[in-house]
Structure 1
Amino acid sequence: MAARSGTEPCPEGFVETADRRFQEGYLWAILMAEFLVAAGGNGLALYRFITQEQRPWHPAVVFSAQLAVSNLCYAFTLPPLAAYFYPPKNWSFGEVACRLEHFVSTCNLLGGIIFITCISLSRYMVVVHPFFTRKHLRPKHAWAISVACWALAILMAAPMLGFSHQNKPQQGPGRCSRESPESCVQCLGMEDSQLGTFRIYSLVLACLGGILPLLLTLMAYIVLASVVLRSQGMTTAQKVHVVVLVTSGVALYACSYAPYHITQMLHVDVKLRWMGRCPSFTNEKEAAEMVHMGAFFGYQTIRILVPLATCIHPLLYMAVAPSLRCHPCHRNPHQDLPLAGTTTPQSQLSP
């Protein structure tokens, strides 16, 4: 192949080819399966909240209901994405739907992280500061905090309306097929020319929507676990139950949200470095060899785990809502679990 001059644009299609192979192969089917489980689990949890939870809702139940709503909204972005990835990869829903797809998924991804943090802090207050919680915290405060959390998630996700766009083929209205991907319409989260700005944006999301909530959750659960394990009024089974809940809350971040933000930043950074070196490539083969596919596939793989986390969230609801726990425990629905929807008696937690 003839050598390239340094003034020619960077060759395209290397990452896009791998992208299509990964997404058209099996990602669309995984997304549909995750949609069915996430929509079913979170829909059932929200239905039980509305029909069986005693009013007014405890703050932990308020936050859990918001988490269920956020998960449902995120789940309903998966079918259009699966249809897009189904071969041949082609976006057929229009420009507005493309921008809304990225905005809604980002907004509710952030919303899920924020409300998990609220649930964690609510558990912390109930167990570590029971008197203050009983005296000062009311459901109206939880609703006000929820409104502020939604506003924060919308504000942080709003730039996606500008970054994302529909990219129509430049070669005219050809027939889209797996053999002619250049004739297909793409729904992109950003353009290559926006990579520098998007890297700053992804760093902000990682700090405010990843690292900060993780630190708050981790600190709350460390203190909570310390108080519970020192308690002489709890059985060993109750203490084990608390440890499991603490571990599950931290594991959600460790296995999905935190890696998502990390791999996204790495993917953007690697692509920026590749574009910076592009003028020095002498031919397209050399350019293709310099594509860091590890960062790309790592980011794509983690994207599978994020919807999977929304399937696991109903397990968190069972820890805070009496209506979602085993009915034989209804003799005293708050006795079996010190993280339940009411404040814990101080006698249970006295060291």
Structure 2
Amino acid sequence: MECYISSNLQVYRCTLKEQFKYILLPVSYTLVFVFGLGLNITAMYIILFRTKHWKPSTIYMINLNVCDTLYILTLPFLIYYYAGKNDWPFGEHMCKLIRFLFYTNLYGSILFLSCISLHRFLGICHPVRSLYWMDGQRARLVSVGIWVIILILQAPILYFSRVRLNGNDLVCHDTTIKELFNDFLVYSSVVTFLLFIIPFGVVLVCNGLMVKKLLDPGVLREPMSQRSKLKSVKMIIIVLLAFMLCFLPFHLNRSIYYTFRYLDKHDCNIIRLSNNAYKVTRPLVSLNSCIDPILYFMAGQSFRNSINKKSRI
């Protein structure tokens, strides 16, 4: 088992029963791969070839789209791995690369969703100030900065990810071997704080202030304000849905499981329960790759017009 066998010298106290993941993960990842890849390739085509004027939000969305697409492209390897019941045939270097790409693009999605929320917050709550801060050049610089930060913070994954023999099977660890787990836990906690908790806080604050502004009757004086308000509310709902449904359960359950695994003193049933909860939330993270294209559709009329033209061809 990937969760408790780590080397010939050290094993965890509890044996985990997780046969269900050999059905859950391949099936869920396959569905996300099929639908998510189609949606994101379509979105990428429309953004790149049908969008004439790129706004700052367009720049953030194409970066989000790249993250989702690269994330989805790692799934066939994981589908094969889990369908084969934790037998990794691709070697240690590929194990490191797939784990690195998986988490790099996961956290890239989180940060670019946060940028979209911050962008809309400035446009709604500080429209005059946003004229200075919301130009294409700054959006490009922010996007480059985000990629640099993510690549630096995810680079340790290339060190921690290892393969180990478990009987006749070669396990590609989702975390790391037991000898390195204490160091990995510190690293994982720092990454969770910097790349999830802080962005999640930004999203909550920005969307909360936007809702407050939109509910202010003074905002609705202009004839087109009602339609703009409805569009903004829909965008808020989609972004919050992505965080609440996809990212929050995953990080919460993973943190609980890592804590129990680190202590290794609790009742084995509790450890198994936390591990199972963590495994169940992993498909939810992948579901975000199917939710994000809805965000592109809601973003503007030009995107919807492009879809309508394509459907008539």
TM-score by length of 1: 0.78
Structure with the higher fraction of residues in helix conformation = 2
Q: CA deviation at 1:31?
A: 0.5
In structure 1, the partner of 2:242 is 252
Residue of 77, 88, 91 corresponding to 2:88 = 91
Matching residue of 1:213: 199
Q: In structure 2, how many angstroms separate the alpha carbons of the residues matched to 1:208 and 1:219?
A: 16
Q: What is the rounded CA distance, in whole Å, between the counterparts of 1:105 and 1:62 in structure 2?
A: 22
Residue in 2 that maps onto 1:4: none
Give 2:48's aligned residue. Answer: 50
Alpha-carbon distance between aligned partners in 1 of 2:11 and 2:65, rounded to the nearest angstrom: 44
Cα distance, 1:64 vs. partner? 0.3
Map 1:3-14; keep pairs closer than 5 Å: 10=11, 14=15
- Whether 1:31 aligns to 2:17 is no
Q: Measure how far apart 1:140 and its partner are.
A: 1.4
The answer to whether the Cα contact below 8 Å between 2:46 and 2:306 also exists between their aligned partners in 1 is no
Aligned length: 296
Alignment of 1:199-210 (within 5 A): 199-210=185-196
CA distance in 2, matches of 1:103, 1:146: 19
- How many Å separate the matches in 2 of 1:191 and 1:11? 11
Is 1:292 the counterpart of 2:271 in the alignment? yes
8 A Cα contact 1:211 1:258, kept in partner: no
* 1:229 Cα deviation after fit: 2.3
SS at match of 1:133: helix
User: Which one of the candidate residues 201, 222, 225 is aligned to 2:208?
Assistant: 222
CA-atom RMSD in angstroms: 2.4
Shift of 1:43: 1.1
Instruction: Return the offset for 1:93.
Output: 0.7
Instruction: Work out whether 1:311 is the aligned partner of 2:290.
Output: yes
Give the distance between the partners of 2:307 and 2:271, measured in 1 at CA. 55
**Inter-CA distance 10–144: structure 2 relative to 1 (3 Å threshold):** closer
Letter in 2 for 1:219: V
In 1: Cα distance, 2:119 partner to 2:12 partner: 52
Q: C-alpha separation between the residues in 2 aligned to 1:25 and 1:45?
A: 30
Partners of 1:88 and 1:222 lie apart in 2 by 44
Residue 186 of structure 1 is matched in structure 2 by 171
TM-score (norm 2): 0.87
Please list the CA deviations of residues 298-341 of structure 1 after superposition, one character each: whole Å capped at 9, or x if unmatched: 100110100001110011112324332257999xxxxxxxxxxx
Amino acid corresponding to residue 243 of structure 2 in structure 1: Y
Other structure's SS at 1:190 match = coil
- Gaps in structure 2 of 5+ consecutive residues: 1-8
1:61/1:321 contact within 8 Å kept: no
Same amino acid, percent of matched pairs: 24
In structure 2, C-alpha distance between the alignment counterparts of 1:9 and 1:70, rounded to whole Å: 36
Letter in 1 for 2:138: H
